[in-house]
Structure 1
Amino acid sequence: MKRSAPRAIALGLAGLLAACATSPLGRQQFLLMPAAQMDEMGVAAYAQLKNETPVSKDQRQTAYVQCIADHIIQVLDPQDQQGWEVNLFQDDSANAFALPGGKIGIHSGLLRVATNQHQVAAVMGHEVGHVLAQHSNERVSVQYATQSGMQILAAISGEATTEKQMLFGLLGLGAQYGVALPFSRKHETEADVIGLQLMAKAGFDPRESVTLWQNMAAVSGGSPPQFLSTHPSHATRVRDLQAQMAEVMPLYQQAQAAGRRPDC
C-alpha cells in the first residue's frame, strides 16, 4: 500500500497538469473530459428531456424565444455559432438550463417573470455563457477529482476504522460545502458576466438583467443561505450585475449604433 501511494499521487498530479484550461473570462479551469464526449452526453440528456417534458405548442411564445436566441447566437464567434438548439418547455417553474452541445431549455413559467425581450435575453445569454465556458465539464471534472482524491486518501491511510469512516464523511461534507458549491456559484457569476456581454452585443439592454433578478427575488420567497446554495443570493446577483454596467453599456451602445435593435 505504501509503495503504491506515491504512484497514485504522481498520476493524480499528472492529471491535474493535463487538465488545465482557461475560461472565456481568463479564469484557470480544471477540465478532464474531452469536449466531444461532453457534447454527446448533453445531446443524449436533452433528447431524454424532450421525451419526458412536453415542448410548448404555443407558436407565438416559441417564435419569441427563438428570435431572442437567434440574435444572441449571431454575435458569437463564427466557430461557436453552429449546432444550437433552443426549446420552450411547458413547465410552470421560472427556470432555464443549458447542456453541452449547445442545448438550451427555457421553461414557459420564466416568461411570466422575464417580462420583456431584454430580460429573456439576460437568461438566454447566461445559459449560452455556461456552454461557452464548459461549466458542465468543469463540474464533472471537479466531482471526479474530489471522489478520486478521497479514495486515494483512504487507501494511503491504511486499515479502515469507525473513526476514519467518520473523518472521511466529514471530509466529504467539507468537499461539498467548501469546494463544489462555491465553485458552482463561481460558474453562475461567470455566466452572468458572459451573458451580459452577449446580450449587450446583440442589442438587448443589459440594465434589464437587474430588473429580471429583482423580479426573481419577488416571486421566489425564501431561499437557503448562500453558503448552502449553488447560486448566488438574489441580492448578491443584483449587486454584481450593477457593478458590470460600466463595462457592458458601451457594448450595448455600439450595437445600437450598428443597427442591432432586436424586435422579438
Structure 2
Amino acid sequence: MLKKYLAATLALCALVYGCVTTPVSENSALILIPFSQEVSLGQQAFQEISAKETLSTNLRLQQVIERVGRRLVIETSMADLDWEFKLFASKQMNAFALPGGKVGVYEGILPVCSNEAGLAAVLGHEIAHAVARHGAQRMSQQLLITGALAASSIRLSDHKNRGLILGALGVGAQYGVTLPFGRGNESEADEIGVIYMARAGYDPREAVRFWQRFSSMKQGAQPPEFLSTHPADERRIRDIETLLPEAMRIYNAHPNKQGLGESFLYILNEERLKNPGGTGQKRPAAGARQPVP
C-alpha cells in the first residue's frame, strides 16, 4: 500500500515538476532528479573510473581529444559546465560522457574513428547523452515505476543501488553491470550528436562512415534488433542518413569548416614505432589512488 501511495505521489509530482524539453530533438522527458545531484553522481563516477584506468601517454592524441571535445561542447546548451576530457590507454572500443561534463575516451576506439570527424561523431553522441540527461531520465523511471530506487539513496555510496545508478549513467559496463541506454535514448543521442558535430564544423557524413566501420569490425553474429536495446547498425545508419540534409545545411553554412580534420592513422603508427610494447604507462603502486569498492 505504501509503495502504491509513493508511486502515485511521484506520478503527481512528475506531472507538475518533472517534464523538461530535450535540446535539439525538442522531445519531452521526465526527470525527477535535481541537476546538482546528477552532476555530483557524474563527478564521483568519473573519479572512480579515472582511478581505475591508465591514462594515455600520447600527448598528441590527448590534444586532439581536447580540441574536438571543446569544439563540440561550446555548441551545446551546457557549455558553461566544467568539461574535462581524458584519454585512457586501453584497447576498448568505447567512450562516455557523464553528467557535469566529464568525458572519457579509450584509445581502442580511435582507429575506428579514423579522423577528427569520426571522433566528433562518437563524442557528439556521448555528449548528447549527458546534455539530454538520459541518465537522470532512467533513474527517474526507476523512481516512478519500479520503486527500485528511493530519492534518498541516489548516491554512489549506497551499495544496494550502486550498480543501478552507474548503469543509468551509462558506465555500468566498467563495473560488471549491463544496463545500456534504450533504443529511444540511443536514437535521440544520434540525432543530437550529428547536429553538434555539424555546428562544430565537422563533416556530418563521417558519422555514417564511422558506424559503417564500427559495424564491419564487430565480431560474431549480431542479434535481431528486437532482441537488443540498441538500434541495429543498419537501422542506425539509415536513421542518421535521414538527418543528413539538415546537418549538411548547418555544416555548409559554417564559416570555419574542419572537414574530416586530422587523421589518427599517422599519429597511431608513429606511436607504435616509438613504443612497440604499448602506449599506456602504469601508475606507481605507492600512493596510487585505488578504485572505491
Q: Does 1:190 align with 2:188?
A: yes
Structure 1 segment 72-91 matched on structure 2, within 5 A: 72-77=72-77, 80-91=79-90
1:248 partner amino acid: A
Cα distance in structure 2, aligned partners of 1:13 and 1:37? 20
* Cα offset, 1:186, TM superposition: 0.7
Offset at 1:139? Answer: 1.1
Q: Does 1:259 align with 2:256?
A: yes
Q: Structure 1: how far apart are the matches of 2:145 and 2:70?
A: 38
User: What is the TM-score with the length of structure 1 in the denominator?
Assistant: 0.80
In structure 1, C-alpha distance between the alignment counterparts of 2:146 and 2:195, rounded to whole Å: 35
Which structure has the highest helix share of the two? Answer: 1
- Distance (whole Å) between structure 2 residues aligned to residue 6 and residue 214 of structure 1: 46
Determine if contact 1:22/1:29 at 8 Å carries over to the other structure: yes
Partner of 1:200: 198
| Structure 2 spans left out of the alignment, 5+ residues | 149-178, 263-293
Return the offset for 1:8: 4.4
Map 1:1-264; keep pairs closer than 5 Å.
7-8=5-6, 10-17=8-15, 18-24=17-23, 25-77=25-77, 80-148=79-147, 184-221=182-219, 222-255=221-254, 258-261=255-258, 263-264=261-262
Q: Distance in 1 between matches of 2:122 and 2:79?
A: 18
Measure, in 2, the Cα distance between the counterparts of 1:13 and 1:41.
24
Q: What is the letter of the counterpart of residue 211 of structure 2? A: W
Letter in structure 1 aligned against 2:141 = V
Q: TM-score, normalised by structure 2?
A: 0.73
State how far apart, in whole Å, the 1-side matches of 2:231 and 2:240 are: 12
Q: For each residue in 1:146-176, what CA deviation from the matched residue of structure 2 results, as whole angstroms up to 9, or x when unmatched?
A: 2129xxxxxxxxxxxxxxxxxxxxxxxxxxx
Give the C-alpha shift of residue 231 in structure 1: 1.6
How big is the shift at 1:73? Answer: 2.2
CA deviations over 1:206-259 (Å, ceiling 9, x no partner) = 00100000001101122333223232111011000001111110100111xx12
Give, as a single letter, the amino acid of the residue that structure 1 aligns with 2:243. Q
| Deviation (angstroms), 1:183 | 7.0
3-state secondary structure, aligned to 2:113? coil
1:93-115 superposed Cα distances (whole Å, 9 cap, x missing partner) = 21111111111111100011111
Judged with a 3 Å threshold, the aligned counterparts in structure 2 of structure 1 residues 183 and 126 are, in CA distance, closer, same or farther, namely closer
Name the CA distance, whole Å, in 1 between partners of 2:108 and 2:130: 22
* Pair 105,5 (structure 1): closer, same or farther in 2 beyond 3 Å: closer
Assess, with a 3 A threshold, how the Cα gap between structure 1 residues 21 and 8 changes in structure 2: closer, same or farther: same
Corresponding residue pairs, total? 230
RMSD: 2.3
Q: Which has the larger radius of gyration?
A: 1
5+ residue gaps, structure 1, are: 150-180
